[in-house]
Chain A
Amino acid sequence: MTELFLVVGVLAVISAVFMLLSDNAVHSALFLVITMVGIAFMFLLLNAPFLAMIQITVYAGAIMVLFLFVIMLLGAERADVSSLIGSDNRKFRWYIPVVAVAIGSIFFIFALSILNSGVATRQIPADPPQARFLHAAADVGAVEVYAGETLLAADVTFGTATDFVALPEGATSVRIVADAAEYVVDVNLEADTSSTLIAYGAGTPQVSVIPTDRSTVTDQRSGRYVVFNGYADLEAVRVIDIGTEFDENDNNTLVESLPFGEYSAPLLVEEETANWTIVDANEPDDLVTRLEAFELERDTASLIAVVPLPVADGTVRPGTVVVKVEAAPDFGGPRAIGYKLFTTFLLPFQLLALLLLAAMVGAIVLTHRETSKARERAGGRRRVSRPLAQVIAAQVGQDITPDAPQLPGGEGSRAAGD
């Protein structure tokens, strides 16, 4: 990678130097295209694929074509009578060595400060731990969740999860306050991680901490799924992808045996509409619950909790609670850029659109004057044709204008009277 960087970097610098030294403006523009493409390549190496493509289309494509177009339109290829070296017949310009020395010394100051800054060895500061609360305890009504003394979320009902919130690093006491009761659980959160606090179980709820990986899903078209067993009546459960109902042979065990209170390793599955069943791991014929026509989505991180669900008559039956969250988008990819563009940078984006509009109008206005002048000139030429018609009439010896209205459609009268 570093060799590639060196080769492309040297190429970009050399073509930039040739751009300055070339006497022909067209050659300069073409050398600048090479530099632009080199910089686009650098963007690729620096994890910015979207910007690399933008660089190629906008700079190497649109802008440079505009430059070449104007150079050729004006015939300005040789307009730079003095090259950078000054080897022309005009007077020696004293400021060239001065400028060169000044800029060169600025360059050395910059280069030394960059090499001594140690920027490449600096570490990214750790993010505070993120956590959310998932209410999956059937017998408990709406709850309030506190971390320490601060309220994280109020009125969390069964089957819903709060948003992720930043919590202090280290040990935190999380209090879950229901109508009458209060449950306290001590959790220990590490920096740069995301966790789900899940309350589950019939009767008095238990609380577990499930690490939730929200990082970019690198597998193509895949989502990340974690299964949690919160169903106390069985020792362990098994998760099976039964595929289509009609084909008995494509059963695919996703999780072999998941004991009560445990969570599975993340399953990476491609997006599709799936049929999953959850069975007793010891008695595979005993169905616990099913996930029918279950939409597996790409670029998401989901948690499937197998918990007792309340039924209308006050009893419970096993069921699932699924919470889904978007995985972090690809760094430097179009999804990440678009997300930021339409959230944090929406106002600058709008202003930019206005600026482009203004630039378009400006460019039209700047070049419009000549066009209107040309139209005036054309109109003027038409005006001199009227005396010409009279001249012809005089030479022919008769006035041709009275005859004109006899022409079909009256075309002649308008042409003559114009």
Chain B
Amino acid sequence: MIPTDMAVLLSVVLFVLGTLGVLLKRNAILVFMSVELMLNATNLALVAFAQQWGQETGHLFVFFIITVAAAEVAVGLALIVAIFRTKKSINIDDLHQLEG
């Protein structure tokens, strides 16, 4: 049996790597992939805690997160394709009309 703290530590490492990718990458698709990595890291923590407490609710949450992520990827990639058609670029530095 894997110690829960080790699994959660691994999940934190992956989450931090995902955060770095989101903040530092300039390619919209890679930013998106980093978001997926962060979601996976949280899933790992949820499964580790579910095993620790012997409760399946954590598994159900992971199931829902995976499904929502699939929906999000479908819409997000469609958005990226649509943006690429109008702007001819998916570099997020070029997509700043809102001037946030």
Contact = CB atoms under 8 A, between A and B. Distances in A.
A340 B40 contact: no
A241 to B, nearest CB: 35
A13 B59 contact: no
B60 A356 contact: no
A100 B8 contact: no
A63 interface: yes
Given A5-B2, A5-B6, A120-B3, A19 B12 contact: no
A355 B90 contact: no
Contact of A111 (B12, B20, B81): B12
**Which 8 A-B pairs have CB atoms at the shortest separation, nearest pair first?**
A359-B71, A80-B27, A366-B78, A363-B78, A107-B16, A120-B4, A120-B3, A16-B17
Nearest to A63: B73
B37 A13 contact: no
A17 interface: yes
B40 A59 contact: yes
B1 interface: yes
Contacts of B21: 19-20, 84
B80 to A, nearest CB: 6
17 contacts: A13-B10, A19-B34, A20-B34, A28-B33, A35-B14, A45-B2, A58-B67, A59-B36, A59-B66, A63-B36, A63-B69, A66-B77, A114-B12, A363-B74, A367-B82, A369-B82, A370-B85
A76 B71 contact: no
A47 interface: yes
Contacts of A115: 5, 9
Interface string B39-71: 010011001111111101101101110111111
Contacts of B5: 114-115, 117, 119-120
B95 interface: no
**Secondary structure type dominating chain A contacts:** helix
B7 to A, nearest CB: 6
Interface residues of A, number: 80
Nearest to B84: A74
Interface in A75-98: 76, 79-82, 84, 96
Interface string A343-360: 011001000100110111
Interface in A155-213: none
B56 A362 contact: no
A393 interface: no
A14 to B, nearest CB: 10
Contact of A76 (B19, B29, B36, B54): B29
A15 to B, nearest CB: 10
Contacts of B64: 345, 348, 352
B32 to A, nearest CB: 8
A254 interface: no
Nearest to B89: A79
Where chain B touches its partner, the secondary structure class is helix
B9 A114 contact: yes
A240 to B, nearest CB: 39
A78 B10 CA distance: 30
B84 to A, nearest CB: 5
A316 interface: no
A124 B48 contact: no
Contacts of B1: 1
Interface stretch (A48-56, A130-138, A221-229): A48-56
Contacts of A267: none
Contacts of B26: 80-82
A50 B59 contact: yes
A81 B91 contact: yes
B91 to A, nearest CB: 6
B59 to A, nearest CB: 6
A48 B81 contact: no
A362 B52 contact: no
B43 to A, nearest CB: 7
A322 interface: no
Contact of A124 (B8, B29, B54): B54
Given A28-B30, A107-B12, A79 B90 contact: yes
Contact of B56 (A117, A332, A352): A332
Contact of A80 (B12, B30, B69, B74): B30
Contacts of A67: 29, 32-33, 73, 77
